Structure 1
Amino acid sequence: MKSCLIVDDSKVIRKVARRILEDMQFKIDEAEDGRMALEACQRETPDVVLLDWNMPVMNGMDFLDALRDQPLAKRPVVVFCTTENDMAHIRAAIEAGADEYIMKPFDREIIEAKFAQVGLV
């Protein structure tokens, strides 16, 4: 079973994403900020990280930079999932090492399509 770390400061978003991804047969872990997510990745590297941009403590971009600097056994796929929907943010995320980009609000169809594009389903 593939694993996904959902990183978002919104409990509602984490709950919605969890429900969708569990239906897609993913094992789920959650973090409410980038620092907690980095700690989770160091304990057990997920196959994919569904990542919000704007969070307290450590935002999504800072997390992504820190994640890519980690000596992890495998490189998780990172899919940003955020309200930041202008081309400058999308370009910055991809250049920083994100594999794909989802704009909120999202649904199962969008997640399935993006995960398929990066080879997860």
Structure 2
Amino acid sequence: MAAGSVLVVDDEANIALSLEYLMKEQGFDVRVARDGEAALEALRDRLPDVMLLDVMMPKRDGFDVCQTVRATPEWAGLRIIMLTAKGRAVEQEKGLALGADDYITKPFSTRDVVARVRHYMPGADS
């Protein structure tokens, strides 16, 4: 039984691959989407426990995806951790205002990402 499921949404292949590898190493069931449209398709297919969502992407950016998720009642329980190179406070406030649960700026510490994903998993007690 997997420890939980994670959807990694990032258009940068190296970041998506490293996050996918990192999450699988932790025993999570992982899927990857490379843009906002693909992310929403993946959510329609099967809802993960946690979504790692990049902000700057083609088609639909992370803010738009976050807003769409929060406007969809069936997805209300999804935990969203936004990832972005935009570390300015105004960007973080916007992400959190749109319903993100947490915000991680790039470059990020892998240990920090793992700790935050574990924190938002259902039944997490660590």
Q: What is the TM-score with the length of structure 1 in the denominator?
A: 0.92
Query: How many Å separate the matches in 2 of 1:99 and 1:54?
Result: 18
Match of 1:81 in 2: 83
Query: How many Å separate the matches in 2 of 1:58 and 1:83?
Result: 17
Ranges in structure 2 where 5+ consecutive residues have no aligned partner: none
Over aligned residues, Cα RMSD in angstroms? 1.6
The amino acid that maps onto 1:22 is K
Ranges in structure 1 where 5+ consecutive residues have no aligned partner: none
Alignment of 1:19-30 (within 5 A): 19-30=21-32
Tell me the matched-pair count: 121
Alignment of 1:1-121 (within 5 A): 1=2, 2-72=4-74, 75-119=77-121, 120=124
**Shift in Å at residue 107 of structure 1?**
3.0
Query: How many Å separate the matches in 2 of 1:90 and 1:55?
Result: 16
The amino acid that maps onto 2:21 is R
User: In 2 relative to 1, CA 78–108 (structure 1 residues): closer, same or farther, beyond 3 Å?
Assistant: same
**Shift in Å at residue 116 of structure 1?**
4.2
The amino acid that maps onto 2:79 is V
**Shift in Å at residue 115 of structure 1?**
2.4
SS at structure 1 position matched to 2:74:
coil
